[in-house]
A and B are shown apart, each in its own frame.
Chain A
């Protein structure tokens, strides 16, 4: 019997080796080390499939591989800091998603980077390899501290890849912004990690000695100042949430994500679909047993999510650049996932994470294909009529857009509908959650509108520039990934047809529900039912009981999506579309400038300059002062004391004698000779 779980570290290490190979020898390899990356991610993907099959067979793993530090904690227990793997249905699913998207992005990069004659390819493929490896390490992490480390590595890689074209002015600045803004959130996350370790003496995710289990049992080693457990759990949960808000680009730390479009398009696909942005939501899902204990934290998550979903969607409406629209759609869709998590819809959130990973990777790669065809012009007003020139791109992109807009029966419809349903049935009596639900519902037509505005402007109508009339063709390495993802965007929704099951009463077609509920085996305490039991919510149905609510909810969201689509068709589905944004008047400027949030953040940065100044004085004066003081004291002392080395032997003798006499005197006095 081969133990598949002993190969789990290899899933993480294979892309890491491709990083080393591309970095060290990429110059001497064909295609700048691309094949190493493709082979590594393909290997990881196959191993992940094997792991998925094994988990489906009822086996799971929760092991510590290496303990790198152990010490006495604040409480009675020892704190052990370790690396380990946790493979349960959730992480096995995520492994497959991440490795598949990474593999397709690597293949696509052959077309987008190599064929376009980019320079610095070894650096690019090294970055992709490390990015994939860090995300995979984050996915299999069995404790919060390890997760934090890989979380930071993911942030570092995003910095390296967003700033890939470092000779232009935009990318380095966007990279710095992404790094700093997410780091601001990670700062709270770090405090949260320390708080968890101090409170429970462990940061394990799973098992009877894990921190969610201890929190559930109320066994804490320490709380600050006799705070009530509930309050303290809420505070810790919100601290960790800081990192999530930063990485998953939730309001108000979403500003880095649109700027991150400066990176190469395949990188955007990787960031948005499978790695960095997904990391935040995955983290909440990973420690959901802890969040479920705190109604306040859940409500905050739901409200932030719903607000972000609507807020980002409105900004997507006025953007002119293809990738900008997609960027805001990503923020908005992750808002939905947060709404689901906050509403107690653990499965719905993971479902949307899965479907979104596929259709958003598809949309970004499709956009990449359009950008190749358009000679790197991203302005949608220069496009038009690409439908007949790029049929493969068009039909796959359309599938992705239908999924994003939530049109039946594409993947996004099922997951978004389930999110709204979960929010709706849990909302009565929860004002924050209800607010989140309303905003999420409002975002549905907006999403459909901007998605199809994008589709119509890009692919339909008359070509509006010379490049659009004669676009550059794309090769198999672009079409291949698009086709795979296009098929997935159509069918992924069928893994979890809850509405059909509820309405028609067919049992067993809600595969993802069963999967996450440990139907085929899993780890005790990490099942969706357990989370539902822990959570504060009870379900209340509208007219017609459960079936009626399902039908009404689905009909409303589908109707709203179709309305948005129809409006986009009406306005932009014409041969020569014109800008209609001027009708919005002043609102257009506000939307176009992202609600002036960037300006607000810069203003805040200037207002808090004094704080930074004080911190600077503390750092330079106290911290550096101590270090410099020690060195200057020894320097000065040495400078003075060396003067007694005069070179005159007699003086040395005299000192020697004096020293001896002094020694004898001291020994004499302490030894009691003279008493």
Chain B
């Protein structure tokens, strides 16, 4: 398995990661529902994880994999907080549409 993964050139991994990141970014920019936001952010983070792991494999170094683990833990925490925010949002405005609450501005 490792041999197969190592035989793929790194640029493919990078392309995959870039595509995933752009999909996530597009989701954040175009969607209105906060839940979609959470999912899109998850996609973007995992795109970063792919990069980490791919380079770890390429250089034969474990540091990138350790970072990926950290990012996964971070993503879990982020989702917990994000869900909390969305709950409060829904309780106050009755929607999960992020364009509705615009109180926090000048």
Interface size on A, residues (CB 8 A): 11
Min Cβ gap A657→B in Å is 6
Inter-subunit contact A650/B99 (CB<8 Å): yes
Q: Within the assembled complex, what's the spacing in Å between the Cα atoms of A646 and B101?
A: 10
Question: Chain B residues with Cβ under 8 A from A648's Cβ?
Answer: 98-99, 102
From B29, B99, B105, A654 is in contact (CB under 8 Å) with B29
* Chain B neighbourhood of A653, CB < 8 A: 28-29
Chain B residues with CB under 8 Å of A580's CB are none
Cα distance A646–B103 in the bound complex, in angstroms:
9
Would you give the shortest CB distance from A656 to chain B, in whole angstroms?
A: 10
Decide if A647 touches B104 in the complex (CB within 8 Å): yes
Interface contact A647-B29, CB-CB below 8 Å: no
Is B32 within 8 A of A650, CB to CB?
Answer: yes
Least CB separation from B104: chain A residue: A647
A607 part of interface (Cβ distance < 8 Å):
no
Is there a chain A Cβ closer than 8 Å to B57's Cβ?
Answer: no
Which residues on B sit within 8 Å (CB–CB) of A649? 98-99
> Main SS of the interface on chain A?
helix
CB distance from B97 to the nearest CB of A (A): 10
Within 8 Å of chain A (Cβ to Cβ): is B25? Answer: yes
- Kindly state the separation between the CA atoms of A645 and B105 in the bound complex, as whole angstroms: 6
**Is B106 an interface residue, CB under 8 A from the partner?**
yes
Q: In the bound complex, how far is the Cα of B103 from the Cα of A647, in angstroms?
A: 6
Interchain CB contact under 8 A, B29 and A642: no
A167 at interface by CB-CB < 8 Å: no
Taking a contact as CB atoms under 8 Å apart, the answer to whether B98 and A642 are in contact is: no
Give A649 to B104 CA distance when docked, in angstroms. 10
CB of A647 within 8 A of CB of B101, answer: yes
The one of B28, B29, B98, B106 in contact with A645, judged by C-beta atoms closer than 8 angstroms, is B106
**Residues of chain B from 26 to 74 with CB closer than 8 A to chain A in the complex:** 28-29, 32
- Contact A657/B104 with A648-B99, A650-B98, A650-B99 known, Cβ cut-off 8 Å: no
- Give Cα distance in the complex from A467 to B28, angstroms: 100
Cβ-closest chain A residue relative to B31: A650
B25 touches A657 (CB 8 A): yes
Chain B proximity of A85: nearest CB distance (Å): 61
Bound CA span A646–B106, Å: 7
Docked-complex contact A647 and B28, CB < 8 angstroms: no
Looking at the assembled complex, report how far the CB atom of B36 sits from the nearest CB atom of chain A, in whole angstroms.
11
Residue of A nearest to B25 (CB): A657
A643 surroundings in chain B (CB, below 8 A): 106
Give Cα A650–Cα B102 distance, bound, in whole angstroms: 11
CA distance A485 to B29 in the complex (A): 95
Please provide the chain B residues from 66 to 106 with a CB less than 8 Å away from any CB of chain A in the complex. 98-99, 101-106
Alpha-carbon distance between A643 and B105 when the two chains are bound, in angstroms: 9
| Closest-CB distance, B87 to chain A (whole angstroms) | 17
Q: Closest CB-CB distance, A139 to chain B, in whole Å?
A: 62
State A274–B85 Cα separation when bound (angstroms): 81
Q: Digit string of A611-648 for contact with B (CB within 8 Å is 1, else 0)?
A: 00000000000000000000000000000001101111
Q: How far is the CB of B48 from chain A (nearest CB, A)?
A: 14
Smallest CB–CB gap between B34 and chain A, Å?
Answer: 9
Contacts of A647 in B (CB 8 A): 101-105
Question: What is the bound-complex CA distance between A647 and B105, given in angstroms?
Answer: 5
The distance from the CB of A650 to the nearest CB of chain B, in whole angstroms, is 6
Query: With a CB–CB cut-off of 8 A, which chain A residues contact B105?
Result: 645-647
Minimum CB–CB distance for A639 against chain B, Å: 9
Q: When chains A and B are docked, how far (Å) is the Cα of A102 from the Cα of B13?
A: 94
Q: Which residue of B lies closest to A654 (CB)?
A: B29
Q: How far is the CB of B47 from chain A (nearest CB, A)?
A: 14
> Contacts A646-B105, A647-B104, A647-B105 known; A657 to B29 CB distance under 8 Å?
yes
Within 8 Å CB of B102, what residues of A? 646-648
| A642-B28 CB under 8 A given contacts A648-B98, A649-B98, A650-B99 | no
CA distance A645 to B103 in the complex (A): 11
> B106 touching A642 by the CB < 8 A rule?
yes
- For residue A651, which residue of chain B has the nearest CB? B99
Min Cβ gap B17→A in Å is 15
Minimal beta-carbon separation of B94 from chain A (angstroms): 17
Contact (Cβ within 8 A) B101 A650: no
A650 to B99, CA, bound (A): 7
- Residues on B with C-beta less than 8 A from A642 are 106
A3 to B98, CA, bound (A): 82
CB distance from A659 to the nearest CB of B (A): 13
Q: How far is the CA of A659 from the CA of B29 in the complex (A)?
A: 14
Q: Which residues of A contact B28 (CB under 8 A)?
A: 650, 653
Chain A nearest CB: distance from B19 CB in Å?
Answer: 16
Chain A's nearest CB lies how many Å from the CB of B102? 3
From residue A668, how far is it (CB to closest CB) to chain B in Å?
A: 15
Which residues of the partner chain A approach B101 to less than 8 Å between Cβ atoms? Answer: 647
Which single residue of chain B is at the shortest CB-CB distance from A653?
B28
Interchain CA distance A367-B58 in the complex, whole Å:
106
A655 CB to closest chain B CB (Å) equals 11
Question: Which B residues are CB-close (under 8 A) to A654?
Answer: 29
CA A579 – CA B32 in complex, angstroms?
A: 104
CA distance A653 to B32 in the complex (A): 12
Min C-beta distance of A93 to chain B, whole Å: 72
* Complex CA–CA separation, A646 to B99 (angstroms): 10
**Nearest CB in chain A: distance from B16 CB, A:** 19
Bound-state CA distance A551–B63 (Å) is 111
Which of A643, A646, A649, A657 is packed against the most chain B CB atoms within 10 Å?
A649
- A sample of 26 inter-chain contacts (CB < 8 A) reads A642-B106, A643-B106, A645-B105, A645-B106, A646-B102, A646-B105, A647-B101, A647-B102, A647-B103, A647-B104, A647-B105, A648-B98, A648-B99, A648-B102, A649-B98, A649-B99, A650-B28, A650-B29, A650-B32, A650-B98, A650-B99, A653-B28, A653-B29, A654-B29, A657-B25, A657-B29
Chain A residues close to B by CB (< 8 Å): 642-643, 645-650, 653-654, 657
Give 7 closest A-B pairs by Cβ, nearest first.
Answer: A647-B102, A647-B105, A642-B106, A649-B98, A645-B105, A648-B99, A645-B106
10 additional A-B pairs beyond A647-B103, A648-B98, beta carbons within 8 Å, are A643-B106, A647-B101, A647-B102, A647-B104, A648-B102, A649-B98, A649-B99, A650-B32, A653-B28, A657-B29
